[in-house]
Structure 1
Amino acid sequence: MGDFRAGERVRVRAGDPAGHTRVPRYVRGQVGRIVESQGRWALADEVAAGVAEPRVEAVYTVAFAARDLWGEGDHEVTVDLWESYIERARRAEA
């Protein structure tokens, strides 16, 4: 499917792209854990921009500790993210 496997630690790419993005601001720059792959889908950012043939990428469910996102909470938050939104976390972050 893609380059990431369940259990792998990833960092969401930071930044504030122009136009539409499916990356919630509260996970940008955060480290999470791949839960599972959701298959391959057209990149929503390019679909929203009207790109005639949008890229197709693997989409992953990524879990984040609520405490890491908001400083409190004992639960996880899951977000579906396209592969180009994430990168492997450095060892020190994992």
Structure 2
Amino acid sequence: MAERFGSGVRVRTIAVDPAHHTRIPRYARGKSRVWWWRERGRHPLPDVRSQNLPDPPVEAVYAVRFAARDLWGAGDHWVVVDLWESYLEVDG
């Protein structure tokens, strides 16, 4: 299956606050101008697995590189977060 987010595509994380478990960290939710880095395989969506629902969707997981200043307003380093495909949207 082809990657949804090819090299060089800017993405935005979804802004969610679900009542159940999610693997998108709160500090990374609703952030735009993040840069897709690379796909890290395909894995069952943990949001569905944590609810003991049958047949969790298997999605691509992307290593997304954020500038620390985009997450916390300061810092000159990068933070890499593994995010499932459904947590991401094309930015722009």
Fold shared per TM-score above 0.5:
yes
Structure 1: distance between partners of 2:71 and 2:9? 18
Cα offset for 1:52?
1.9
Cα offset for 1:7?
2.4
Kindly provide the CA deviation profile for residues 49-93 of structure 1, in whole angstroms up to 9, marking residues without a partner as x.
112210001110001110111111111111000000000001xxx
Cα offset for 1:15?
1.9
Note the 1:7-86 alignment, pairs <5 A. 7-31=8-32, 32-86=34-88
- Residue 3 of structure 2 corresponds to which residue in structure 1? 2
> Among the aligned pairs, what percent are the same residue?
53
Structure 1: distance between partners of 2:3 and 2:52? 24
Structure 2: distance between partners of 1:21 and 1:6? 25
RMSD of Structure 2 on Structure 1 (CA): 1.0
Structure 2: distance between partners of 1:30 and 1:14? 8
Length-normalised TM-score, structure 1: 0.90
Structure 2: distance between partners of 1:52 and 1:23? 21
**Runs of 4+ residues over 4 Å off in structure 1:** none
Kindly provide the CA deviation profile for residues 8-31 of structure 1, in whole angstroms up to 9, marking residues without a partner as x.
110000020120000100011112
Structure 2: distance between partners of 1:33 and 1:4? 10
Length-normalised TM-score, structure 2: 0.92
